[in-house]
Structure formats: structure tokens, C-alpha cells
Amino acid sequence: MMHSGNVLAFVGDAVLSLQVRKYLVSKGITQTKKLQETSVKFVSAKAQADFINYFLDENVLNENEIRVFKRGRNAKSQTMAKNADMITYRLSTGFEALWGYLYLNDKTDRLEELWEIVKDRVDLYE
């Protein structure tokens, strides 16, 4: 089934959120305030736009993954991120769409591979 970019982003947002929460807890972060503050380094529109720009700049994605990203990026949305401009918001929606696509298509090895790159780009303790 071919899901819309918005549906893929909806699922991708949840998948990423769970990955981030699991990761932060595994790092021993237990204070709710610290968990929330640190999770922003992964789930904010700006962070996600940075991740997808890195993937694109470094040719990390294959052609199909780029198509999925573009489907999410170009999806029409009724909402807008509170703390992001339109370009950043669309890039982050494309990033989430890629995450949702990989999850829904059981491409867990690839999802894990990209997740490792994302984790390497974030300094938890800065």
C-alpha cells in the first residue's frame, strides 16, 4: 500500500520518539525534565532538518529513500511547527516520512543503520 507523506510522517514521528526515549533511558537519564530537554535534540524540526540535510549531503540515502523523503517534504499540511520556519518544517516532515516508510515496510536493518548515524550526530551532554 502506498501511504501519503503525511501518514508516513505521522508513523515516523512515533517511531523516532520511541527510539529516542529508549536511547535516553539506556544512557541513564532519569529526570523527566532532562529527558524532555535532551529529546529535543532529536525530535525538533530543526534537528530533523539537520539530519536529513546530512543524509542528502553525504549521499547516505538511496533513490527510493530520497523519493519517500520528497513525498513527505512535499505533503500538504494543515499544521505548522511552532518553532520552525516552513522550509525547516517541510524537511523535518520528509525525515519523519522516511522513518515511517522504513518502519512500515519492515526495513528495520536500514532504520537501525540510519538511527546510528543520527545518534552519532547528537551530543547528549552539551
- Catalytic residue numbers read 13
**Residue type at 126 in one-letter notation:** E
Nearest to 100 by CA among 78, 75, 79: 75
Question: What is d(CA 82, CA 55) in angstroms, rounded to the nearest whole number?
Answer: 24
